[in-house]
Amino acid sequence: METRRWGKAILYGLSSILLAALATSLLFSLLLKFTGLTEDSIKWFILGLSFLAVFIGGFIAGGKGKERGWLVGGTTAVLYTLIIFLFQFLGYGKTFTMEQTMYHGGFLAIAMLGGVMGVNLSGSSK
């Protein structure tokens, strides 16, 4: 039963990350298209929003999982990284660069932190 709850929690967290990524991608693609902004001018803002989305996903996963937030949040981040890697590798034939690997390592740490906070702020564990 515990594994089922964790699986559901990870799915909720992963879904929230992907939904946030989709929404911000749509917003920034429209901003880039219809304003004078360039990708270089908003690179750090997008990176910050990416970390925020992964933190929120880990937080949701930890809150739904009710225990072992670091594990639930970390698994959520690893699955997110796997999805991004598969899109990039199968779609473009490229692996992660060193910069992307460092970003995804940061995503792992942030999602684990979010998972721990989600467990601790979710209330009763039973």
Query: How many domains, in total, are found in the chain?
Result: 1
The reported pLDDT for the residue numbered 107 is 97
Structure-block tokens of residue 94: 């490229």
Task: Determine, yes or no, domain membership for 9.
Answer: yes
Q: Which amino acid is at 20?
A: A
The per-residue pLDDT for range 17-35, each reduced to its tens digit, is 999 999 999 999 999 999 9
- Domain extent at residue 66: 2-121
Task: Determine, yes or no, domain membership for 71.
Answer: yes
The reported pLDDT for the residue numbered 1 is 46
pLDDT(124) > 70: no
Q: 4 falls in which pLDDT band (50, 70, 90)?
A: confident
Task: Determine, yes or no, domain membership for 108.
Answer: yes
Task: Determine, yes or no, domain membership for 98.
Answer: yes
The per-residue pLDDT for range 58-106, each reduced to its tens digit, is 999 999 988 888 999 999 999 999 999 999 999 999 999 999 999 999 9
52 class by beta-carbon count within 10 Å (0-12 exposed, 13-18 middle, 19+ buried): middle
DSSP state letter for 33: H
Q: 3 falls in which pLDDT band (50, 70, 90)?
A: confident
pLDDT(125) > 80: no
In contact, 61 and 115? CB cutoff 8 Å: yes
Task: Determine, yes or no, domain membership for 126.
Answer: no
The reported pLDDT for the residue numbered 34 is 94
Task: Determine, yes or no, domain membership for 21.
Answer: yes
